Amino acid sequence: MATQIVIPNVGESVTSGIISTWTVEDGAYVERDETVLELETDKVTMEVPAPASGIVKHGASEGDEVDVGATVGEIDESAEKPAGGGDGDATPEPEASAPAPKAEATPAPAPAAASAPAPAAAVATAPAAPASNSEAKATPLARKLADDQGVDLKQISGTGAAGRIREQDVLAWIQTHQNGAAGATAAPASAGVVREAKQERMSPMRQAIASRLVEAQQTAAMLTTFNEVDMGAVMDLRKQHKEKFGEKHGVNLGFMSFFVKATTQALQKFPLINAYITQGDNGKPAIEHHNYNDVAIAVSGPKGLVVPVLRNAEQMTFAEIEKNIKDMALRARDGKITLEEMQGGTFTITNGGIFGSLMSTPILNPPQSAILGMHGIKKRAIEYPAGSGQIALRPMMYLAVSYDHRIVDGAEAVQFLVSIKDAIEDPARLMLDL
């Protein structure tokens, strides 16, 4: 009896995806609910579990685009589980190495091997696989091929999901670096440099990000206003309480929670920044207002930035904000963010400072009307305290708010950013809701 492997329904707006990786080899035994493949869509990357236990038969290849509901393989339930449990390898290691003792058991050819250069050369071109291959992020087929050919997977850049090395990547590397080495005439060995140019498929998520960014620039009247904020007060408060905060709540006290609280307070003062333009019942443009703050936090994942949403952020405590951000960051790293978690934000915060950015112009996340950009903290000489005529080195951060001028006026955007600046420079405002 065979059970079909079917692409599940991910969400209403997702109709297809790309098989980025088969995590189980063709012909290998799999347990029910074990992940058999990774499906990459324009929104999320999801794992597809095995619907039954048995032998897997691939019906589609890595890189194929498949529709929701399509059959991409099957599982033979009548097959017996291999002795020893079956770990997903179609050819277990002991069998692969079995011929070696057989060769050693024949003493006669030994003298001939010593005088014959050809076998020696064969051994040299296929050395034992590096031990590091077992730790590399690669598909089982890719790892087996690398082991058979003595290829160090650390030398190969993967084109699969999250940089996973696929069988095609190993074959391409062998073609370039091993097979091509014998008769290469285009580039002399003395050059010491191998020039390469390759194309890789743009992932559905990357395509979606590109499309939305272009849409934002083509449809919105986007402007950016800048300011700078003295981070000294927040840094002192954080230093004073972070140890006790961590002990009580089980999470570190970061800067992002301060900015989320400051942002939600500012959004309540300037509600148009929390609204966006939509189509009204009469088919004409309308403004959709929100009495809640669903703040999207840009989080870096293996395939790029994703923007999961903190629902009702205005009601969250510092600890709740930090816990949610930590959870989102971990799941973004593992590709576990769901489609629902990235929909419906009313405002976005992005922090380029963690990558070393000093200043940038963030692009709107449609249909939202504004986005806050945080940047790196650098000590700069400023007048401190204000109005004293004294100069001091202070930890400063540039802030940027990009906004849709169709709905938000410049004065409102400037005041919104100043409100955030004032709250960060005097954190008591956050505690007292001032």
Catalytic site positions: 405, 409
Contacts of 89 (CB under 8 A, 6+ apart): 25, 28, 140, 144
Contacts of 224 (CB under 8 A, 6+ apart): 361, 362, 400, 401, 402, 403
Contacts of 222 (CB under 8 A, 6+ apart): 216, 363, 364, 402, 403, 404, 405
DSSP 215-227: HHHHHS-EEEEEE
> Of 407, 403, 385, which Cα lies nearest the Cα of 394?
385
Question: How many whole angstroms from its chain centre is CA 212?
Answer: 17
Pairing outcome for strands 377-383 and 391-404: antiparallel
What 3 state SS string does 102-143 have?
A: HHHCCCCCHHHHHHCHHHHHHHHHCCCCCHHHHHCCECHHHH
Contact between 161 and 38 (Cβ < 8 Å): yes
Element (H, E) at 182: helix 180-183
Dihedral sign from CA coordinates of 22, 25, 27, 31:
negative
